[in-house]
A and B are shown apart, each in its own frame.
Chain A
Amino acid sequence: MIYLLIVLFGSTMLYVSATSRIEAYIKTLYAQGFLLFLMVALEFGRIETATFVFLCLETLVFKAVLIPAMLSNAVRKNEAYRDVEPSISHFFSLIISTLVFLGGFAIAYLSGSRSAEIQPLYFGISISTMVNGLLIVMLRKNVITHAIGYMMMENGIFLLSLSIAKKMPFVVDLGVLLDLFTGIFLLVLFAGKIREAFDETEVDSLSRLKD
């Protein structure tokens, strides 16, 4: 069951790479947040109750609802429904992210035989999600898409930290969540300012400063 969820999680990134509708990215974010919640929920009984409750709240409230809603609001406010002219065509971007996804399985296979400290599939898929998130940031040109790509990368990192049995002190978990939430909040805020100042949300307009 859990493996199915992980693979589903990883393959959401393929969907993102093949479309230029920003609302579709947001839907993917909702889905990813909910999948992460299900993965945490399946751990019931295996982790401490306090940690379990915190992780459930983090995934369900923040990752599956609040943060995607915030970004979705930014899309509507800034009327940035589409990603115009990505650097490469959807076809190539789909091929690249499929390769990265397969690479994730390869990493899982290789690390499974070599290391006892990690759960291979978690590890491989989380790495491939991070790389795919970074690819979105690099290949797309809308600032809101960039914020979404960053969030997907953070989801990948969350999966990675789920995969290790070790836990952090509560104050650290809380701090990480607070940082992430504030970070996205600020990105959304500044995306709005960019729209006000430049009348669009394309990164190409951010090219005044160079040497």
Chain B
Amino acid sequence: MLEILLGFTCVLALVLLAFRSEAMNRWALVAYGIAYLGAIGSGCLASAGCLVLPWVEHLTAFFAIDPLNLIFLAILAVVFLPVSIYNLGYRKGAKGDRSSGTFYAVFMLLFMASMTGAVASTHLALYWVFLEATTLASSYLIYFPKTKASLEATWKYIFICSIGIAVAFVGIVFISVGSVGFDSLFLADLYRNAPSMTPLWLKLGFVFITIGLGTKVGLAPVHAWLPDAHSEAPSPVSALLSGTLLNTALLGMMRAYKLMGLAGFGSQGRIILLVLGFLSLVVTAAFILGIRNYKRMLAYSSIENMGIVAVGLGLGGPAILAALFHVAAHSLVKSPFFLTAGNILRRFGTKDTREISGLVKADPLNGWLWVAFCVAILGFPPSPVFMSEYLMISAFVSSGRWLLLAVFLLLLTVILYGMGRRVFAMSFGEPVMSSDSGPVPVSMVLPLFIFIALFTALGSGIFAPLFGLFADAAEVLK
């Protein structure tokens, strides 16, 4: 099924290249989003045994759906469709020649295909191949505004991520060296033989993979590309980078983490993740107070949230469930937050927080959405972020790490203050904007409400079976 999906993506990309019609580019992405959701949805049901599909049997050895990557695939599918609808309005009437619009759509498709391949891969090195492909496919998307700033962001992005991923490849080679008595990098073989692996090579491999993939996840201190790329990319791309790309790299870290656990070095792996997680929180807290560009602010918030996930993995035990839930919560809240930032940028033409105030008066719809997403990402109910952070805190308490909990809460409070202050200063008061290009099209607002419905459903716990999925995934990592 996944092969069909990947093949279909490439065919669609070729069709778009052949026709080069701007309307077709935009609608093809929406159609792809629907098809993708359908394919992943039916694939998930089939792998859960709820649905019998003859072609699911024909999966090759290289791709499979397991309880862990099922969540990541579902996030990809659920985030992409609303983003593609947003893109309808975003790209409508856009300047630029026809071919650059076509390249935009084609690279968007390749970006999705590479993320799908990485998430679904059952082979560690194949995962790496697809992850590097995500960097290459998304680089054009970040460059797309074709300004000096976007060029600089793209260069840093390709360069830093490629070197990071090369480091991860060295880690994979080390793991291969350490696999005594078997010659395979299939995850199933690695997991089965983990206890007999050479400890030195396994640990070295884990460190290299974690630091290397950490670059792509955006964990401090190797996060340098993230604020630049997220703030300069077109808003639908920022939403995908934050909501799906970071997760894709995170999955690789989780696979390596599991391998360490199986080999009996879980506690050493957890310490590394705890350190990286807390560092990310510290870096965010330090930078978010002085930030003047609201898209950069959201990017730092992504670093923070990836840090929270790393802390959750680092705590282990019940916090793993919290970490996985946080991955989904962050994607569902941060993507529309970036899209709203895009609406504000399009209407008022500035990314500087000081040049914007009284959003609620000037543009009530986007103003209130801006406030709502801020409140949601900061973890107030019914946001799913509240639920995951609550689970995380209770994991701190149950393991008796009071000092760490205090530091964790202190850092979150600083970040809450830093972000809340800026967002509220932008939203309330009297409007001071110097230019106003009028309301954004409906298609750029509608998807935001889809996201609100989705994350409220997740956060309020209406769909109990969803928790079962997260519990199953957490079981894989324990």
Q: How far is the CA of A154 from the CA of B132 in the complex (A)?
A: 13
In whole angstroms, what is the CA distance A172 to B143 when docked? 28
> CB distance A146 to B159 under 8 Å?
yes
B123 contacts A206, C-beta separation under 8 Å: no
Residues of A within 8 A of B178 (CB): 117
Which of A157, A176, A178, A208 is within 8 Å of B125, CB to CB? A176
By the criterion CB–CB under 8 Å, are B173 and A160 in contact?
yes
Main secondary structure of the interface of B (DSSP, over half): helix
Cβ–Cβ < 8 Å partners of A153 in chain B: 163, 166
B456 at the interface (CB under 8 A from A): no
Does A45 have its Cβ within 8 Å of any Cβ on chain B? no
Flag whether B228 is at the interface (Cβ < 8 A): yes
Find the B residue at minimum CB distance from A127.
B170
Is there contact, CB below 8 Å, between A183 and B152?
Answer: no
Note all chain A residues with C-beta closer than 8 A to B126: 169, 171-172, 175
Binds B, one of A55-63, A85-93, A97-105, A189-197: A189-197
Q: A-facing mask of B155-169, CB < 8 A → 1, else 0? A: 110110011001001
B62 at interface, CB cutoff 8 A: yes
Q: Which residues of A contact B152 (CB under 8 A)?
A: 206-209
Beta-carbon contact of A164 and B163 below 8 Å: no
A197 and B151 contact, CB distance less than 8 A: yes
Pairwise interchain contact A183-B148, C-beta atoms closer than 8 A: no
Q: Is B200 an interface residue (CB 8 A)?
A: yes
B440 to chain A, nearest CB (A): 26
Knowing A117-B198, A190-B143 touch, does A197 contact B177 (C-beta < 8 A)? no
Instruction: Please name all residues of chain B whose beta carbon is closer than 8 Å to the beta carbon of A134 when the two chains form the complex.
Output: 163
The yes or no answer to A118 lying at the interface (CB within 8 A) is yes
Contact of B129 among A154, A176, A190 (CB under 8 A): A176
> CB distance B183 to A160 under 8 Å?
no
Is A211 a contact partner of B173 (Cβ separation < 8 A)? no
- Which of A164, A182, A208 contacts B136, CB < 8 Å? A182
- Any chain A CB within 8 A of the CB of B176? yes
Are the C-beta atoms of B123 and A172 separated by less than 8 Å?
yes
Does the CB pair B170–A193 fall under 8 Å?
A: no
Within 8 A of A (CB), among B168-192: 169-170, 173, 176-180, 183, 185
Contacts of B166 in A (CB 8 A): 150, 153-154, 157
Residues in chain B near residue A179, CB distance under 8 A: 129, 132-133, 136
B248 to chain A, nearest CB (A): 15
Given contacts A150-B163, A182-B136, A190-B158, contact A209 B200 (CB under 8 A): no
Q: Are A186 and B136 in contact (CB under 8 A)?
A: yes
Nearest chain B CB to A174 CB, angstrom units:
9
Cβ contact of B290, chosen from A117, A150, A211, cutoff 8 A: A211
Chain A residues whose CB sits within 8 angstroms of the CB of B200 once the complex forms: 115
Find chain A residues with CB under 8 A from B163 CB. 134, 137, 150, 153
B169 engages A209 (CB within 8 Å) = no
Once the chains bind, are B151 and A194 in contact (CB under 8 Å)?
yes
A157 touching B173, Cβ below 8 Å: yes
Asked if B291 is at the interface (CB within 8 A of a chain A CB), the reply is yes
Are A209 and B162 in contact (CB-based, < 8 A)? Answer: no
Which residue from A150, A198, A208 sits with its C-beta under 8 Å from B159?
A150
CB contacts (< 8 Å) of A194 on chain B: these are 151, 155
Q: Is the CB of B125 within 8 A of A168?
A: yes
CB pair B170 A187 closer than 8 Å:
no
- Residue of A115, A172, A175 with highest tally of chain B CB at under 10 A: A172
Q: Are B156 and A211 in contact (CB under 8 A)?
A: no
The answer to the question of B287 belonging to the interface, with a C-beta cut-off of 8 Å to chain A, is yes
Query: Are B158 and A187 within 8 A (Cβ)?
Result: yes
Instruction: Report whether B232 and A209 are in contact in the complex, using a CB–CB cutoff of 8 Å.
Output: yes
Nearest chain B CB to A163 CB, angstrom units: 9
How far is the CB of B205 from the nearest CB of chain A, in Å? 12
In the docked arrangement, what's the CA distance between A160 and B166, Å? 12
Q: Which residues of A contact B128 (CB under 8 A)?
A: 176
With A and B bound together, what is the CA distance between A117 and B196 in angstroms?
Answer: 14
Q: Does B428 contact A (CB under 8 A)?
A: no
Is residue B301 contacting chain A, with contact meaning CB distance below 8 A? no
Interchain Cβ contacts under 8 Å between A and B, 23 examples: A115-B198, A117-B177, A117-B201, A157-B166, A160-B170, A168-B125, A169-B126, A171-B126, A172-B123, A172-B125, A175-B126, A176-B125, A176-B129, A182-B136, A187-B158, A190-B139, A190-B143, A206-B155, A208-B148, A209-B149, A209-B153, A209-B228, A211-B227
Since A169-B126, A182-B133, A194-B155 are in contact, a sample of 16 more A-B pairs with Cβ atoms closer than 8 Å, ordered by chain A residue number, is: A117-B180, A117-B201, A143-B155, A146-B159, A150-B162, A150-B163, A154-B166, A157-B170, A157-B173, A161-B173, A175-B130, A179-B132, A183-B132, A183-B135, A183-B162, A198-B148
**Residues of chain A whose beta carbon lies under 8 Å from any beta carbon of chain B:** 115, 117-118, 130, 134, 137, 143, 146, 150, 153-154, 157, 160-161, 164, 166-169, 171-172, 175-176, 178-179, 182-183, 186-187, 190, 193-194, 197-198, 206-209, 211
Listed from nearest, the 8 A-B pairs whose CB atoms lie closest are: A175-B129, A179-B132, A206-B152, A209-B228, A172-B125, A166-B183, A117-B177, A182-B136
